[in-house]
Amino acid sequence: MPKDGKVIVAGVNVITRHRKPSQANPQGGLERTEAPMHVSKVAVEDPKTGKATRVRFEERDGKKVRVAVKSGELING
């Protein structure tokens, strides 16, 4: 949701709603869904260590690329 500055991350910020039985859902029960969160709360994963890192922009081979600050590895796409 770039217009609102929010993202949905699988398995993170899961909310639970208690739903009454209805015709569409005769069983009712608990409904678990991922809620959107602000993009500033999401970090980029370091490709070498798999942990969160900041991003630095460098120029390599005449192209502007993203580089992980912790390991210096190139970040894809």
Note whether 1 and 36 are same-domain residues. Answer: yes
Cβ contacts of residue 27 below 8 Å, gap of 6+?
21
> Both tokens of residue 47?
């490709």
pLDDT of residue 77: 60
Residues 2 and 33 in one domain: yes
The count of domains in the chain is 2
pLDDT, residue 21, reads: 93
- Shared domain check, 36 and 6: yes
66: domain range? 43-77
One domain for residues 71 and 51: yes
> Which parts of the chain register pLDDT below 70?
77
pLDDT at 14: 92
State the pTM of this model: 0.58
Are residues 37 and 47 located together in one domain of the fold?
no
**pLDDT value of residue 44:** 86
